[in-house]
Amino acid sequence: MAVCVFFGTFARTDLSGDRMRGANFMAYFPFYADIEGMRWLIAGGGGVALRKVRDLLPYGAVIEVVSPDMSPDLNEMAKDSAYADTLKLTRRAFEDRDLDRADFVIAATSEPGLNSRISDLCRSKRIPVNVVDVKEECSFIFPSIVRDGPVVVGISTGGMSPVIARYLKARIRSVMPDSLGELTTRLGAYRETIKNLFPDSPRVRSALFYELAEEGLSHNGCLTQEQAQIIINRKLEQEHE
């Protein structure tokens, strides 16, 4: 299980007035949160709930789905021993007490009135809530996500234009090297070593990481240990000249 994972959530902030030249709309502020071990309640057991479960589980979320009816795929996932500690299906209607231990809530039932009531309850308890496809009743929304290992890109248009979000997602995917996540992980593994080699030279460390990244990106995200060592040794020689 990952020590620290990140998920983009978006909280509303008012950008009207001089800062946006008179534009009058609500934008969403992006931030990445470690949700490993945090408790998520999903009301509803259909296809939307299934997608959210699949999105959240890789980030270490602990999820309870509450619904009288569950999709076949959800039932199959719950049988998988890999999810024994992170996915629970509660086969009954939503009850107010379900919120008592929830850190985040997703309202995804087929009843708009119930979803609205869940939103109101969550807001009164200051629990972040997402009501699927009803932006006005959400205190956070999900971005469109592009992920490769530790590299996570969140894209949002604040619900104004899903087609633009899809366009940007496709463009970002098209320019990301195939092994970008692997390269990022490898660079992360060198952080402590390089810090120890150049403890008093943040400028040198920054330049060295840039060289390492550039070398990897020029080879479609591939950076071998031999290539990295050559670059590090060269930088050491330059600093001792």
DSSP string, the chain: --SS--EEEEEEEE--SGGGTT---EEEEEEEE--TT-EEEEE--SHHHHHHHHHHGGGT-EEEEE-SS--HHHHHHHH-GGGTTTEEEE-S---GGGGTT-SEEEE--S-HHHHHHHHHHHHHHT--EEETT-GGG-SSBPPEEEEETTEEEEE--TTS-HHHHHHHHHHHHHHS-TTHHHHHHHHHHTHHHHHHHSTT-HHHHHHHHHHHHHHHHHTTT---HHHHHHHHHHHHHHHT-
pLDDT, tens only, 32-82: 899 999 999 999 999 999 999 999 999 999 999 999 999 999 999 999 999
- Token pair 């460390």: residue: 205
Q: What is the pTM of this model?
A: 0.80
Share of the chain above pLDDT 70, in %: 89
91-108 residue pLDDT tens: 999 999 999 999 999 999
Quote the pLDDT of residue 20: 47
Give the model's pLDDT for residue 23: 52
Stretch 182-193: mean pLDDT, rounded? 95
Determine the average pLDDT of the residues in 203-220.
94
The mean pLDDT value for 205-224 works out to: 93
134-181 pLDDT, tens digit each:
989 999 999 999 999 999 999 998 888 889 999 999 999 999 988 999
Kindly report the number of other CB atoms within 10 A of residue 44's CB atom.
26
Does position 208 have pLDDT exceeding 70, yes or no?
yes
Alpha carbon distance 179, 234 (integer Å) = 25
With cut-offs at 50, 70 and 90, classify the pLDDT of residue 2.
Answer: very low
The predicted structure's pLDDT at residue 24? 53
Q: Which of 29, 86, 25 is nearest to 61 (CA)?
A: 86
